[in-house]
Structure 1
Amino acid sequence: MLQNLKTAWSQLYSGSILPGVQQPLLAGTILAVDLVTSLLLFYAGYSVALSHITGFLASGILLLAIKHYRSEPKDRPADIWQILGFSILQLALRAGLIASLTLNGVNEVLALPLGIALAGFAGNFSTALLLRLPARNTSNDEQRWLLSALVLIVCAFALRLVFFSGMEVIPQEAYYWNYAQHLSPGYLDHPPLVAATIFSGEALFGHGELGTRFGALLYGLLFIGIFYRYARLQVDATSALVASALAVCLPYFFMGSGFLITPDAPLTLSWVLALYFFYRALVNNEKTAWYGVGFAMGLGMLSKYSIALLAPAAAAFILIDPQARRVLLSKEPYLAVIVAIIVFTPVIYWNATHNWASFSFQSSGRFDEQPKLYLDMMLGNIMAIVTPLPLLALPYLFTRNSRRDDNDSPFNARVRLFIGCFLLVPMSVFAWNALKYEPRYNWTGPLWITLLPMLAWLLANVNNLRWRPLAASLKLLGRPLLFGLLCLYAVLLHFLAIGLPGVDYPRSMARLIGWPEVARNIEKLREQLPDKDNVVTIGLDKYFIASKLSYYGTPEYLGDHKKLDVSGIHLLEGNSLMFAYWNPAENDRGKTVIMLTRSKSDLETAKLAPYFERLSPQVQPFPVYRDDFGLPKKTIRDYYYRIGYNYFPPARPESAVPFVVKSTVKQ
């Protein structure tokens, strides 16, 4: 396979100085036009986004004009989509580098030309490969898939690399960052591995998006390496590479397994590691693989409890498959359980000393809404996080003859049984839950890992498949969907990082962006209060507002050693998850409280009066906006705030407290 990859790379990499440009003088001219145009517009007061996009277009038009004048072969009309895809991805590389440089301390005036120049160099090894993909009729389909998979993987990792430190953390990431500020063997709503990961990243790189997300990037690299090994247990090298492309390009995996730092990042790594060892233990009958199963399951339980669903999946396979039932007579599966428990011991200890709070929360405590049928929502979530592509492969899971000639199919009955058990048994649990309770959008994401090698093999052999309507759908969706997803990520990340010219942020984006400015404005408000050193700010939602304010209300963002004191809605007897245990309401007795919310009605006097000696007379708007990258200072959405003076917490019976925070949690 390594030789095939070297050959594929030699076909794709042109060795040019800039993407599509090999002559040094021409490359210098194109880059100069790009830089001069971008800087002139920036100094004229236009945004970074408009400036660099215009510079890119100006240099691109000049390059096309020069090539036309020199009578070089024109691009084939069929390649217009490759050119468009390259342009979108290259612009995103530039935006990501500019944003990352700026957020890591480089002045915008320097970050703009430096980002453009670095992206031009990096594009040679990533986005420019798109321009050299062969046309459909110039290579066999398997070879084209090999080249396409290589380009998809390289471009996906390039996007992750330039944006992971150039985009604000989302509320969930900020919440888990708060975990890392209160290190513990366990927490109410998730195990501790994500907290340890963030803590380690910030110990290396300091507080900021780079340190916070660095662990996610490493998890993504490890995930794809192990996933390739898992895929090779079932399919040939080309199909395994295509499967790897699916495992980095489908929405859940692009964002969840190597970009955002949430429990899903270590979970997907643990999941594929467990599948790898389960396959070796159950299908290949390797007894020593059971020790790997134990370690992977324990590691997964330190990430997210849902990996426990692999246990009934394995049990189903063992009960159905006569050959696998023999493992019940060997010691290795039972030793694997012991290994998993040992690895998982910190969480067991924490729960044992905290009234089993986390286990209770993940079972009955999590589902407090009224029962309702949500199967349609579950299906919609699946379509959103993995697209319809894996669903098209499901019928082939139930047939012995997936190819018309049935030659060289790697999916015998035992392999298909393995895939079916490890996909459908966990899926049935989530489907049963969706009969009564609302499913979370990301719950089923890891389940599809087991099916991706089969889907990849079907795509690589699509011309020989049975059931032509399904095969035609796979062929129609395959490459266009994956490259389209990459372009969609590029546009979305560009928009989140530095904006898009002429496109305003929708109101819903206020949860994601503008929070460094929110924290600075809250700090200015605090400074104006008479007792400014005795002020706490709370968010009147479950955890989004408090998490983002905690993250950006730090000296690294406020400067001058300033830090916001932030707490949650539990001060007003609401549910704020772990904030209630990190910051007990009694600790804020007598303080002035700034209350921030999305809904004006949350600040009505009747709701707040029981908790304060007095309230500020009126509810005030608090605009959320961005004030960077030369963007117009437009309000994305108005939040609202009100100030309460001399807070006194309500009496709370001991029975209402699920557990007592002990010394394992830093106050």
Structure 2
Amino acid sequence: MRKNLIRQLSADYKSDRSAIAMVTAIIMLRLLFIFLMGPMPQDAYYFFYSQHPALSYFDHPPVIAYILRFFTTLFGKNVIALKLADSFVTIITTVLFYQLSHCFLGVKSSGKAVLLLLSTFMVTILSLVSTPDTPLLMCWTLSLYLLYQAIFKDKNWYWIWAGITMGLAFDSKYTGIFLPAGLVLFLLLSNTYRHKLISREFWVAALLFLVILLPVFIWNFDHGFASFKFQSISRMSAASGMHFELKYFFGLLGHQSFIIIPFLLITILYFVFRILKKYRFNFLQLPSEKLFLLCFFLPLVGSFTILSFFYWIKLNWLMPGYLTGVILVSIYMSKKWMSYQVILSLFLHVVFAVEILLYPVPIQSDDTWYGWEELGKQVTQLKKTYPDTFVFSADGYKTSAELNLMTSGFTYSQNIIGENALEFDYVNANLQTLKGKNALYIDSAPRFTNENKEALPTDLLLHYFRSVQELKPIIIRRNGRAVRKFLVYYCSDYR
């Protein structure tokens, strides 16, 4: 299948070799990044998932954990194995995307759709950073292909597989719920296919979808529905306390322009509007195939766009919607705009390559790939200097997860000082076993201005320890220049 895809792309785009050459260069850079790029905190956090197998986890379902467990079992517990897992799954997604786009487009436009998808930074993120979105997009794409075959080609057996893959999409990330929602919406709006809502095959698919969800529901039932509450009630509560803020909306436009590349994003938004306007926004009049594609684009992208006026939307939440968005506009996007898209994408990937290789602009955030290996080495040395101590951090999950990847033993998170710690609240959670022990507290200082010790933290640490002593900070250097700083505290007698 993959050979056919490559052969087809080559045959159909002989007249546009420059676009193929630039996209090939982008792909080569991505492959190079696997071996050059250090672990992002997300890599480490979902590796932490994988080292503690469970039916599900606090903030996300389990599929990413199972994939990383499989690859680290094969290739060892290292960063390259994690990124190989992401890249392999993303390659499968790309092949499936070609098959899906071929259902709706002519041969040439299918190749064009694949080139557009491969030009995005979205694919780079999916193939280099371990997140639940990586398996989500694979299962999402496969589900849409199977649903197309079941609905438009009357291949009834495909309903069974579609029910399973939609369930796996939900087991990858809760955003997967937009798949069955989009399916129901399409069937409700489609005069031609509405009768399938009462077909036996549709309800078999629905039943299988629910069966595949059972591990996630069982975990939630056993843990007071903690994950469902976190991803629904807590986020809705946070959003309800916010006011209308244009800056969130412009933030959404900014990071979506980055991951999709502006030329493609503008094209998608423009032609989706043109298509809707052509049919006077009467969805009942839309051709069935266009309606199908829009039902898996508009609900997800529209919902998060509306929410962005009140709440900060993360850059990866809209990703699944772009799959059908790209297919929908591939016919309409001009060769000129496609060239602009690919040229800008290649430029951004070259800039990213320079940043990875030379790190000329240190990132003043824990969301970076640089410095974690060195931190692991220095914390390992500290543990030898201060034996019989446990290690913890309190910057969300990031430093704790990285230290669990980069060092032996277990690194605790901010639950040590009574704060919510995501999945760390559910692994080695009996803190009574630590009572009376001493600890090393590692505190990331991403916006440091000097290499000196800093003032002791607030009384919060002293509420949990008898005494706290600041040690020499850990400084991570690049070509002699300090680029990262971690404060270190020796805490005595955990209470």
* TM-score normalised according to structure 2 size: 0.88
Deviation at 1:295, TM superposition (A): 1.6
Which of these residues, 350, 354, 364, is aligned with residue 233 of structure 2?
A: 364
Deviation at 1:169, TM superposition (A): 1.1
Is the CA contact (8 Å cut-off) linking 1:390 and 1:455 kept in structure 2? no
Deviation at 1:285, TM superposition (A): 4.5
Is the CA contact (8 Å cut-off) linking 1:267 and 1:303 kept in structure 2? yes
SS in 1 for 2:84: helix
Is the CA contact (8 Å cut-off) linking 1:594 and 1:644 kept in structure 2? yes
Query: Which structure 2 segments of 5+ residues have no match?
Result: 279-284, 446-452
Inter-partner Cα distance in structure 1 for 2:309 and 2:318: 15
Say whether residues 1:546 and 2:400 are aligned partners: yes
Is the CA contact (8 Å cut-off) linking 1:176 and 1:195 kept in structure 2? yes
Which of these residues, 174, 180, 193, is aligned with residue 305 of structure 1?
A: 174
Which of these residues, 89, 103, 116, is aligned with residue 233 of structure 1?
A: 103
Code of the residue aligned with 1:372 in structure 2: it is: H
Which of these residues, 161, 173, 192, is aligned with residue 323 of structure 1?
A: 192
Aligned to 2:378: 521
Q: What are the within-5 Å matches in structure 2 for residues 184-583 of structure 1?
A: 184-256=54-126, 258-367=127-236, 369=238, 370-373=241-244, 374-388=248-262, 389-397=264-272, 399=274, 413-459=287-333, 462=334, 475-496=335-356, 498-499=357-358, 503=360, 505-508=362-365, 511-529=368-386, 532=387, 534-553=388-407, 563-583=408-428
Q: What are the within-5 Å matches in structure 2 for residues 134-153 of structure 1?
A: 143-145=14-16, 147-148=17-18, 150-153=20-23
Deviation at 1:366, TM superposition (A): 3.7
Taking structure 1 as reference, are residues 581 and 547 closer, same or farther at Cα in structure 2, changes over 3 Å only? same
SS in 2 for 1:457: coil
Inter-partner Cα distance in structure 2 for 1:566 and 1:166: 26
Deviation at 1:167, TM superposition (A): 1.6
Deviation at 1:153, TM superposition (A): 4.7
Is the CA contact (8 Å cut-off) linking 2:166 and 2:176 kept in structure 1? yes
Is the CA contact (8 Å cut-off) linking 1:191 and 1:303 kept in structure 2? yes
Code of the residue aligned with 1:625 in structure 2: it is: R
Say whether residues 1:607 and 2:460 are aligned partners: yes
SS in 1 for 2:50: helix
Q: How many residues align?
A: 474
Radius of gyration: which is bigger? 1
Overall identity of the aligned pairs, in %: 25
Is the CA contact (8 Å cut-off) linking 2:393 and 2:414 kept in structure 1? yes
* TM-score normalised according to structure 1 size: 0.66
Q: What are the within-5 Å matches in structure 2 for residues 64-103 of structure 1?
A: none
Is the CA contact (8 Å cut-off) linking 2:26 and 2:349 kept in structure 1? no
- Residues 484-530 of structure 1 show CA distances to partners (whole Å, capped at 9, x for unaligned) of 3134223313432x316xx353434784211111111122222222x
Deviation at 1:319, TM superposition (A): 1.7
Taking structure 1 as reference, are residues 237 and 452 closer, same or farther at Cα in structure 2, changes over 3 Å only? same
Inter-partner Cα distance in structure 2 for 1:175 and 1:432: 30
Taking structure 1 as reference, are residues 202 and 280 closer, same or farther at Cα in structure 2, changes over 3 Å only? same
Inter-partner Cα distance in structure 2 for 1:637 and 1:8: 44
Deviation at 1:620, TM superposition (A): 4.2
280-289 or 432-441, which moves further after superposition?
280-289
Say whether residues 1:589 and 2:435 are aligned partners: yes
Taking structure 1 as reference, are residues 229 and 7 closer, same or farther at Cα in structure 2, changes over 3 Å only? closer
Inter-partner Cα distance in structure 2 for 1:8 and 1:329: 40
Q: CA RMSD in A?
A: 2.9
312-321 or 440-449, which moves further after superposition?
312-321
Code of the residue aligned with 2:443 in structure 1: it is: T
Deviation at 1:4, TM superposition (A): 10
367-376 or 259-268, which moves further after superposition?
367-376
Code of the residue aligned with 1:391 in structure 2: it is: I
Code of the residue aligned with 2:189 in structure 1: it is: I
Inter-partner Cα distance in structure 1 for 2:89 and 2:477: 33
Taking structure 1 as reference, are residues 401 and 212 closer, same or farther at Cα in structure 2, changes over 3 Å only? closer
Inter-partner Cα distance in structure 2 for 1:481 and 1:226: 22
Deviation at 1:8, TM superposition (A): 7.4
Inter-partner Cα distance in structure 1 for 2:277 and 2:396: 49
Aligned to 1:664: none
Is the CA contact (8 Å cut-off) linking 2:397 and 2:422 kept in structure 1? yes
- Residues 181-240 of structure 1 show CA distances to partners (whole Å, capped at 9, x for unaligned) of 101111000111111111111111111112222221221121111100100011111211
